[in-house]
Structure 1
Amino acid sequence: MFEAVIALCISLSDGPCRDHLLPGYEATTQAECITSLEARPPDLKVFEGLAVQSDPNCTEAGETLRVVEIAPGVFVHMGAVEEPDHSNRGDVTNLGFIVGDTSVAVIDTGTARWMGEALWRSIRQRTDKPATHVVLTHMHPDHVLGAGPFVEAGAKVIGHKNLSRALSDRQANYLESLTRLVGAADMLGTRAVPVDIAVEEQFEIDLGNRKLVFRAWPMAHTGSDLTVLDQQTKTLFAGDLVFDRHTPALDGRLRGWRAVLSEMESIELARVVPGHGGPSLEWPLGAAPMTRYLEVLETDTRTAIEAGQRLGEAVKVIGRSEKSLWALFQAYNPRNATVAFTELEWE
């Protein structure tokens, strides 16, 4: 398989540089790819601000993401249960796609453009059906910043009604932080994309004899949480409303998250794809660790408040009974305790 790429740099004088995928020019031979590129020159305005090192050209297809088929036509890439860094290149999130009779929906796109490109190739290895929709489950950058290649290929972006504002407020900080953590080369070409379909409550699409149902939830993990239900296989992509092994990250409202998770547990499902870990969980059994953690977080926080502890003292003890049960506990639990304490002390 051959594809079209263009070499772009931060600066032609000292780089870094990286080949960027131009989606939609895939062909079985290089000659066919070149013919397609000449017949339909790509719009390069999306790369404004980067320096062009060479004209678009056709080369053998680049790296892909490893995916597993967890149900017929439902594929998941499981990211590392780690913080984003130079070693993992930001590949720390579960991504997925669902193939219908006529089209494909992509669920989350990763931390950087290179991940969206690699996911695109993984899809193209399995089907030539168009990727018509990209679903972004919430505002966190490890889920949304790889969407560029899909949008350039014509996909519509679906997100929670609050997603656009949340990304607009945070994207500059997200990109600055991730460039430092992951590296400038792997973050080249990365950008937030606009939301085309803002879901207020529920929304449905049909991929061809395959209906997907999207639900926007009240404030929980964040204020922009959206789930995706594949009705055919009863598979729910939960985004970060569900964590597995990775310490949950509270960036919204603790009581809201507990209420949402309780409601989700009552839904009849075959499996759930968490935002981290997995790649799929039995349901509702798979919710048990999350349910326990959030209950402990609330109970410990209330105990600390009732004892008159200050925030600085409380964060050292809230949730500590869960320490051995979760990865990245020290990175996330103190933050969770801070958010929970701030929420509950003024109720």
Structure 2
Amino acid sequence: MAAAATFLRPSAHTALAGVWLFVWLLWAAPAPADPLPVFEVAPGVFVHAGRHEETDATNAGDIANCGFIVGDDAIAVIDSGGSPVVGHRLREAIRLRTDRPIRYVVNTHMHPDHMLGNVAFLPDQPDFVAHGNLQAALAARGEHYRQAFDAAVGAAAAEIRIIPPTLAVSDRLELDLGGRVLDLVAWPVAHTDNDLTVLDRQTKTLWAGDLLFMERAPAIDGSVLGWLRTLDALAAELAARVVPGHGPPSAPWPDAAADLRRYLSRVVEGVRKVQAAHGTIQQAVETVAAEEAPRWRLFESYNPRNVTAAFAELEWE
């Protein structure tokens, strides 16, 4: 009996190995993400408000609005955030509220603060939905975006992957979440050449992406004239509220676009005035839309770029 008891008793080496295995499993298992704070702007429509900052190690790319829409059968994510960290936190926020499948991840355009969180949703095997031009834009800029994020954030960039779309929208597309239909529209060149909007028919909530900036200075990465034309067309959308790419996540539509329209119009008018006087691009950068500075966060970073982009565009009218 004594011999049998000795045989069954684990050795000190075996016990220690078991302890180390347990410790390793704890270390290796991914820590649960802290859910992003979201609030319900309309029934079943949840939004997280990004910060008015540039991406850095402190905010890990949490600088743009993102969120999700819950249908009877499935969920659509609208923009996934500016890093894998933000994407995982958004996914945790969804799972706090429902276990319905995440069927779609919609990217409103190519900029990294709106889509670097895509990687967090790969386990859900959703369709990644975007404007038909987004694939080419990512091919041209994806590696630059990854390197810029790595430089700005460092360690948090370890999981960065550029996830291409699996479902492209060339004009219009309907997504049925079960008792809830989303209308997606691909727009001509405006903020970028791959802007996509989402309208939830049930609540008349318009997700405008970066076709609408509020409070934070906009960025012209497409066509300033095209952007103004698109705002005119968007104003006809029968929406009760709008979620901008940056700014207060629920605002009346189309009144919410008034500040952006004024700013873009002043850029166009100011640049045309400088060009008519045969002024230089530097003179335009120093003077155009300067009166707008108190109205916009990060104005000093973005207005010179916007004026430069507008000058190049309007020079060939």
- From 201, 222, 235, the counterpart of 2:171: 201
The gaps in structure 1 that reach 5 residues or longer are: 1-52
2:94 corresponds in structure 1 to 123
CA contact (8 A) 1:206 1:212 kept: yes
Cα distance in 2, alignment partners of residues 175 and 57 from structure 1: 25
1:109 corresponds in structure 2 to 80
Cα separation, partners in 2 of 1:271 and 1:217, compared to 1, 3 Å: same
- From 210, 215, 218, the counterpart of 1:240: 210
1:21 corresponds in structure 2 to none
C-alpha deviation, 1:62, in angstroms: 2.5
Identity across matched positions, percent = 46
2:3 corresponds in structure 1 to none
C-alpha deviation, 1:279, in angstroms: 1.3
- From 47, 51, 55, the counterpart of 1:80: 51
CA contact (8 A) 1:113 1:148 kept: yes
Is the aligned partner of 1:255 residue 2:222? Answer: no
Cα distance in 2, alignment partners of residues 134 and 56 from structure 1: 30
Cα distance in 2, alignment partners of residues 250 and 169 from structure 1: 18
2:241 corresponds in structure 1 to 271
Higher helix share: 2
C-alpha deviation, 1:88, in angstroms: 1.4
Is the aligned partner of 1:154 residue 2:125? Answer: yes
CA contact (8 A) 2:193 2:222 kept: yes
Give SS of 1:173's match. Answer: helix
Cα distance in 2, alignment partners of residues 59 and 291 from structure 1: 45
1:317 corresponds in structure 2 to 287
| Offset from partner CA, 1:266-324 (integer Å, 9 cap, x none) | 22211000000111211111111011111111100100110111111211111111011
2:8 corresponds in structure 1 to none
Give SS of 2:139's match. Answer: helix
- Count of matched residue positions in the alignment of Structure 1 and Structure 2: 294
Amino acid in structure 2 at the alignment position of 1:209: G
C-alpha deviation, 1:340, in angstroms: 0.3
The gaps in structure 2 that reach 5 residues or longer are: 1-23
| Offset from partner CA, 1:162-184 (integer Å, 9 cap, x none) | 0011011111111111111122x
- From 139, 149, 174, the counterpart of 1:168: 139
Is the aligned partner of 1:67 residue 2:68? Answer: no
C-alpha deviation, 1:190, in angstroms: 1.2
| Offset from partner CA, 1:113-172 (integer Å, 9 cap, x none) | 111111110000000000000000001011111101213321101000000110111111
Cα distance in 1, alignment partners of residues 284 and 96 from structure 2: 51
| Offset from partner CA, 1:57-116 (integer Å, 9 cap, x none) | 657633111101000000000010111112212110100100000100001111111111
Cα distance in 1, alignment partners of residues 312 and 147 from structure 2: 27
- From 84, 93, 112, the counterpart of 1:141: 112
Cα separation, partners in 2 of 1:311 and 1:97, compared to 1, 3 Å: same
Is the aligned partner of 1:100 residue 2:71? Answer: yes
Is the aligned partner of 1:189 residue 2:159? Answer: yes
C-alpha deviation, 1:54, in angstroms: 6.8
Is the aligned partner of 1:210 residue 2:180? Answer: yes
Q: State the Cα RMSD in Å.
A: 1.5
Cα distance in 2, alignment partners of residues 103 and 56 from structure 1: 33
Point out the structure with max Rg over C-alpha. 2
Give SS of 2:120's match. Answer: helix
Give SS of 1:300's match. Answer: helix
Give the TM-score taking structure 2 as reference length. Answer: 0.90
CA contact (8 A) 1:151 1:157 kept: no
Amino acid in structure 2 at the alignment position of 1:94: N
Cα distance in 2, alignment partners of residues 265 and 199 from structure 1: 21
1:31 corresponds in structure 2 to none
Cα distance in 1, alignment partners of residues 183 and 118 from structure 2: 20
Cα distance in 2, alignment partners of residues 151 and 206 from structure 1: 20
Give SS of 1:122's match. Answer: helix
Give the TM-score taking structure 1 as reference length. Answer: 0.82
Cα distance in 1, alignment partners of residues 64 and 275 from structure 2: 34
| Offset from partner CA, 1:34-76 (integer Å, 9 cap, x none) | xxxxxxxxxxxxxxxxxxx979965763311110100000000
Aligned pairs for 1:283-322 (under 5 A) are: 283-322=253-292
Amino acid in structure 2 at the alignment position of 1:179: D
